[in-house]
Amino acid sequence: MDLIVSENFSVLSRMADNGSQKSRVLIVGGTGYIGKRFVRASLALGHPTYVLYRPAATQNIDKVELLLSFKQSGAHLLQGSLDDHESLVTAVKQVDVVISSLAGTIVRNEIIQQLKLVDAIKEAGNIKRFFPSEFGVDPDRHADAMEPINQVFVDKSKVRRVIEEASIPYTYISANCFARIFLGGLGQFGQGYIPSREKIALYGDGNAKVIWVDEDDIATYTLKTIDDPRALNRTIYIRPPANILSQKEVVEIWERLIGYPLVKKRISSEEWLKSMEGEPLGLQIAIAHAHQIFYEGCTANFEIGPEEGEASELYPDVKYTTVESFLKRYV
């Protein structure tokens, strides 16, 4: 099945794109969980949008339907792969900005695989902004994290240093906790994505501050930065003020919405860390990361420096989703 929009665009079409004030954006990993949101945000903000998809995607009916929906919305579909350098260079040469939304795990080594994309960007030589796949906590602030989560941050920082050494213009996005993954279960790890109406496990005293961000807002803020000189070669943190809340405060909002209290159980730090024993690597990483977030408060326990930026301050026109409005969907 051939989904590719021809790379031989008409001269008039090419001139129209080049004459636009909006940068042409390539999304790598555009059929993924966060990537599809980048595609939609890019189209919504009027950017000529290109989606790189792997040949294997055509064997997955859900991905095919998603790609076709992108095409019908005006996106250009380009077939390529991290293992096909020529296809990457060809795709990169057609755009101004590259956003990588590859999965951020070390189990399948996707983070380091981005170095292949960096090589293509270096060869193409035309990219004015690159966004490596991060969109969580800032890896440079967490290089000393516990095993095995530290390897994730080591790998992400390694990609950063290669980008910087190659003098590739960049923006790093620190988006903190995805609302649908973390907030849907009131922060409870492994308990599903719908808030409980009966009981809740609190991490410690539940008072560590956490930053919860709607995934669609992450995409909107990211796309707002791509032509903004204030975000060039900087880390931009997404910290919506109303969403800097502890797990306990989130639970209190939910209790107010449903009209009664939940039965609460506290899990000590020692109990939580002990639960890693004997688990597969991927699960150990998730448990260690949850410890960082809910016991150590890693998303909110530092000040943003003057050489960095905060998205909701840079773009006050974005009406972000608050924790309360997000939770109201489940009532």
Catalytic residues: 156
Query: Using an 8 Å Cβ cutoff, are 53 and 78 in contact?
Result: yes
Which tokens belong to 132? Answer: 């490596």
Query: How far is the C-alpha of 39 from the C-alpha of 219, rounded, in Å?
Result: 8
User: What value does the CA radius of gyration of the chain take, rounded to a whole number of Å?
Assistant: 20
How far is CA 232 from each of CA 70, 123, 167, 235, 303, rounded to the nearest angstrom?
28, 21, 12, 9, 20
What residues have CB less than 8 Å from 192, skipping those under 6 apart?
Answer: 184, 185
Query: How far is the C-alpha of 144 from the C-alpha of 160, rounded, in Å?
Result: 17
State CA 73 to chain mean position distance.
22
Which tokens belong to 148? Answer: 């095995």
Query: How far is the C-alpha of 209 from the C-alpha of 169, rounded, in Å?
Result: 32
Taken in order 65, 48, 90, 119, the sign of the CA dihedral is: negative
User: Cα torsion for 196, 297, 132, 188, to the nearest 10°?
Assistant: -20
Alpha helices in 73-170 (DSSP H): 85-92, 110-124, 150-165
Query: Using an 8 Å Cβ cutoff, are 23 and 47 in contact?
Result: yes
